[in-house]
Amino acid sequence: MNKQSRVLVLDFGGQYNLLVARRVRECGVYCEIKPWSTPLEAVRAFAPDGIIFTGGPATVSEEGAPMIDPAMFALGVPVLGICYGQQLMTHLLGGSCRMACTREYGKAEVTHDGQSALFAGIEPTSVFWMSHGVEVDRLAPGFRACAVTADCPTAAIENPEKKLYGVQFHPEVLHSVHGMEVLKNFLYGICGLKNEWKMSSYSQEAIEECRAKVGGGKVLLALSGGVDSSVAAVLLHRAVGEQLTCIFVDHGLLRKDEGDQVMEAMGVLGVRVIRVNAQKRFLDRLAGVTDPETKRKIIGEEFIRVFEDESRKLGRVDFLVQGTIYPDVVESGVGGESVVIKSHHNVGGLPDHVQFREIIEPLRRLFKDEVRQLGIELGLPESLVWRQPFPGPGLAVRVIGDITEEKLAILRDADAIFREEVANAGLDRSINQYFAVLTDLRSVGVMGDGRTYDYTLALRAVETQDFMTANWSRIPYDVLERVSSRIVNEVKHINRVVYDITSKPPATVEWE
């Protein structure tokens, strides 16, 4: 990546850590997240032009709290500490923190004194998002408070001489009205960076990086047909051409007609794809399994085993490529300090022994919307780039409970109706993800004057920028009514349709 413009985000376990990186990239500055335990030498080697400490659940004074080498503050690199990051900076540089007299959670009015570069061009008082029970008690030498709230006298602090800044609030959260301006002031004004990181440059750099890593080796790519793996396939095809073979595993857990659509789309793009019909193999292993984590791990392992089998038919294969993206990595607790939310079959569900020299994940530094941008840059058709997101384990995690061919058939038909009606209503671009879930709940119904006892189907639709947080979509009632009517009339064994109105958090986007 361009060493003239890069920011390091150190992860202290905060719930918004990925969002911090996302916002930095929205400012046109490349950044990466690394764990707080990253050695000082590795930080030097990364050569950041700015460093951001995320928030975190720990208290700086407690035993075992995440700490860093204080020498990091002497690198001459501007540092912005957010929440725990501000407290850590204070603690390590000679100040102290205490339990706040009044804890702040949610929106708070922050007033700055008009003298800090961090608040340049921002109105004197505005709303920012707070989430803390600890605050700075005594400032470290050389620091001053430059913003306050009614309950927090150190809502922001600074040592402009050393370019060290801290904020108690979370500028990365959308609820912070001028949060992006604070980040831009840090990146552009304090770090001296420019809005210059574009997807076109990332595309070329990623192609060159993959080409250099692969050399003359053979590459096998795990193609699911979703946006992520399709973009990865085209990128690798650009990088190594005929050295790439894509394996499309039809595991029997795809959406309606999806297998044929995938083959047609990749054929147009000139990418070599081998379709493996492995429905029985997967369904046999999943028989009777109800636990979602177990489902994911079984599917992840079986994917790898299928690839190994196919690679033996192809002769020596050196590299396996997967379409893993940044949220997959973070939610799986890989490479950072975040809590594991669920295993992704591309990440946490990998078997211990994989018969390839190396796994390549060219998208693991990108967010979903960035993957779509990359797809457009690479020339993929919009119909493929804007395909609805689909989990690697497929319908296995949208059928709650045990999986049978009958349940899968029911869900395919119901899901197809839902997606069709959303598209017919012109909502398919405004809703970021929408799908149906077949619950394991049966309930009494009435059809044709007769009693039924059939499945309840749940509809899920969310709107989000980064899939780390999401709001449930307010689909018009007439659309929902049409969807429900069609499903109960056209799909056997469903007599009740419900709509999920839970945001993320507390729920995840998928049910399992």
Strand pairing of 244-250 and 30-35?
Answer: unpaired
Q: What is the pLDDT of residue 345?
A: 44
Residue with the two structure tokens 């460093």: 51
Provide the 3-class DSSP secondary structure of residue 169: coil
Q: What is the pLDDT of residue 1?
A: 44
Q: Which of 27, 83, 191, 246 is catalytic?
A: 83
Bridge partners of 53, per DSSP, are 10, 81
What's the CA gap between 87 and 79, in Å, rounded?
A: 13
Mean pLDDT by 10 residues, the chain (512 residues): 75 82 90 91 95 89 90 95 93 89 81 96 93 86 94 93 95 90 97 88 87 92 85 94 91 91 83 93 95 92 83 83 75 46 42 66 85 90 82 92 96 97 93 96 83 93 83 97 97 96 92 92
The yes-or-no answer on residue 172 being catalytic is yes
Q: What is the pLDDT of residue 338?
A: 43
Q: What is the pLDDT of residue 223?
A: 85
Longest dimension (CA), the chain: 80
CA distances from 434 to 186, 256, 455, 464, 503 (A): 37, 15, 20, 12, 13
Report whether 217 contacts 357 (CB < 8 A): yes
CA distances from 44 to 51, 198, 488 (A): 11, 24, 61
Q: Which of 172, 258, 302, 361 is catalytic?
A: 172
Where do the DSSP E strands lie in 27-95?
30-35, 50-53, 79-82
What's the CA gap between 105 and 429, in Å, rounded?
A: 33
Q: Which of 112, 132, 170, 345 is catalytic?
A: 170
Q: What is the pLDDT of residue 355?
A: 64
The yes-or-no answer on residue 83 being catalytic is yes
88 phi and psi, to 5 degrees?
Answer: -65, -45
Q: What is the pLDDT of residue 337?
A: 46
The yes-or-no answer on residue 170 being catalytic is yes
Q: What is the pLDDT of residue 99?
A: 81
CA distances from 155 to 59, 62, 79, 125 (A): 17, 22, 16, 12
Residues 6 or more apart in contact with residue 506 via CB below 8 angstroms: none
Bridge partners of 97, per DSSP, are 136
What's the CA gap between 125 and 114, in Å, rounded?
A: 10
Closest among 270, 505, 466, 485 to 381, alpha carbons compared: 270
Residues 6 or more apart in contact with residue 122 via CB below 8 angstroms: 112, 178, 181, 182, 185
Report whether 453 contacts 445 (CB < 8 A): yes
Bridge partners of 111, per DSSP, are 125, 148
Residue with the two structure tokens 């399994």: 289
226 phi and psi, to 5 degrees?
Answer: -75, 180
